[in-house]
Amino acid sequence: MLRRPEDFEREGSKVFRKAPVNKASIDGWIAIARGKVADAQRQANSTSTRLGAAYDAIFNLSLAVLCKHGWRCTAADGHHAQGLEAACAIVGIHASAFDEVDALRDMRNNQYQGIPPSSQDVDYALQLVSRVMPRLVEHLAG
Distance CA 33, CA 59 (A): 8
Give the tens place of pLDDT for each residue, 99-142: 999 999 999 999 999 999 999 999 999 999 999 999 999 999 98
What pLDDT score does 126 carry? 98
Q: Amino acid letter at 70?
A: G
How does 101-111 read in b/e, with b if 16+ C-beta sit within 10 Å? bbebeebbeee
Question: For 5-141, which CATH class?
Answer: mainly alpha
Helix (H, G, I), strand (E, B) or coil at 103: helix
Question: What mean pLDDT, rounded, does the chain reach?
Answer: 97
What pLDDT score does 30 carry? 98
**What share of the chain in percent tops pLDDT 90?**
99
Give the tens place of pLDDT for each residue, 4-28: 999 999 999 999 999 999 999 999 9
What pLDDT score does 142 carry? 86
Domain ranges within the chain, ordered by starting residue: 5-141
Give the tens place of pLDDT for each residue, 24-51: 999 999 999 999 999 999 999 999 999 9
Distance CA 95, CA 36 (A): 24
For residue 55, what pLDDT band results from cuts at 50, 70 and 90? very high
